[in-house]
Amino acid sequence: MSSAAAAQPILYSYFRSSCSWRVRIALALKGIAYNQVPVNLLKDGGQQHSAEYKTLNPMQQVPTLKIDGITISQSLAIIHYLEETQPNPRLLPQDLKKRAQVRMISDHIVSGIQPLQNLSVLERVGEKKMEWAQHCIKSGFQALEQILQHTAGRYCVGNEVSMADLCLVPQVFNAERYKVDLAPYPTIMRINKALLELEAFKVSHPARQPDTPAELRA
């Protein structure tokens, strides 16, 4: 491996992890080359629980990014670091009111929807995990649809891709996985469709990752 390759950031990721997908989109948008290390959340009892990985991420979650001599976990913390160190293209608007809206929508998804239907929670729920996931996503999407009706242009906040959009698309993917009826959320679906046309969202898609099972590849 060349010294240039060795200096590239390393992203520990799982192809279907929505949190990992957020970071992959950010890296793609900002044109940051990186090496990807798959962490299979299901294999071997969950590779995120291995002693080796736990030293990188004590929460035993993905993603984890090694960059610039530090190790960062939590997707929004990673995205904020990328934004502050490589601010072009912007993922946070310059306008402070729009910036607050972007953060609000991001937190709505990252704190109010996704954690309630992630793997560790569903394992605890047991037989009713599909029903539980659908309930959590529907409840969150009902609120999100109302919010976006006031903030959206082409994307979540106006007409520029922002951190909120990086959170939205993976969450819609989760909703589709859990067979949520998305007809009641036309604003969400319109924005999601527009974003999936962008190259950064395509190359980072779960169907196109190194660890994507062959039967799920695009």
- Domain span holding position 192: 96-201
On whether both 81 and 101 belong to a single domain, the answer is no
Decide which of 89, 114, 131 is a domain's last residue.
89
* Residues 18-50 pLDDT 10s: 999 999 999 999 999 999 999 999 999 999 999
C-beta separation of 9 from 67 below 8 A: yes
Q: Evaluate whether residue 2 is within a structural domain.
A: no
On whether both 126 and 187 belong to a single domain, the answer is yes
* Residues 168-213 pLDDT 10s: 999 999 999 999 999 999 999 999 999 999 999 999 999 999 999 9
Q: Which residues contact 39 (CB under 8 A, 6 or more apart)?
A: 12, 13, 14, 47, 48, 53, 62
Res 218 pLDDT > 90? no
Beta bridge mates, 72? 65
* Residues 62-88 pLDDT 10s: 999 999 999 999 999 999 999 999 999
* Residues 109-156 pLDDT 10s: 999 999 888 888 888 888 899 999 999 999 999 999 999 999 999 999
Decide which of 64, 89, 114 is a domain's last residue.
89
Q: How many domains does the chain have?
A: 2
